[in-house]
Amino acid sequence: MNIRYNYIVIEGNIGAGKTTLATRIAEEFNGHLILEQFADNPFLPKFYKEPEKYSFQLELSFLASRYKQLNEELNPGNLFRSFKVADYYFMKSLVFASATLSGDEYNLYRQIFYIIYGTLPKPDIYVYLHLGTEKLLENIRKRGREYEKSITAGYLQKIQESYFTFFRQNPGNRYLILDINNIDFVASEKDYNKVISVIFEKEYNNGLNMVIL
């Protein structure tokens, strides 16, 4: 298959399957895989227990670590890899901060974000995996991460709204919203091939493009 993009981002809410999809695409088509490094963040378990107390520290730490990783990995790439595919992009920092911060903290964070955001290469396409909150919660329960047990449907809904707010406020990017509520690309090879076909075999304009699978 002809990969028409040099840099692809697979985005989505917590539990949507973005890491699984990005990993398989990289393996199947010889892409350079970029995965978010979050497991060692010391603020994450604290945030889920006391979000109001640790939200600003958490978001700043993610801002720094995401910038460091992307700045390093998006520089001239591996000559033996045809393209880059990531399971997140830097915009994720603002999306989550807008759901967890407010007032002066959010305004300060937003200023810092846009200063850094302008220095990073932009993806050729953002693929957003859209799932309902109940299915997200089910996926979160299945993977069994202790610190995610306190995640609520309300929090997931806020994250989803923040993503779409970012999309609307930054229309110059190319977004492909894939509604995957009626398929299971992890368990079904047929469903996985549908996803691949929609991403790589069709052309999309800048702005929001939605496909229901």
pLDDT at residue number 10: 97
b/e map 75-109, b = 16+ CB within 10 Å: eeeeeeeebbbbbbbbbbbbbbbbbbbeeeebeeb
Q: Which residues are catalytic?
A: 87
For residues 58-81, give the mean pLDDT.
82
- pLDDT: is 11 or 77 the higher one? 11
Q: Is the pLDDT of residue 78 over 60?
A: no
**Roughly what angle, to the nearest 10 degrees, separates helices 103-117 and 91-100?**
180
Mean of per-residue pLDDT scores for the chain:
91
Domains, in order of start, for the chain? 7-212 (3.40.50.300)
In the prediction, which pLDDT does 75 show? Answer: 74
Least confident of 21-25, 124-128, 166-170, 185-189: 166-170
Region 31-44 average pLDDT: 84
**pLDDT beyond 60 at 95:** yes
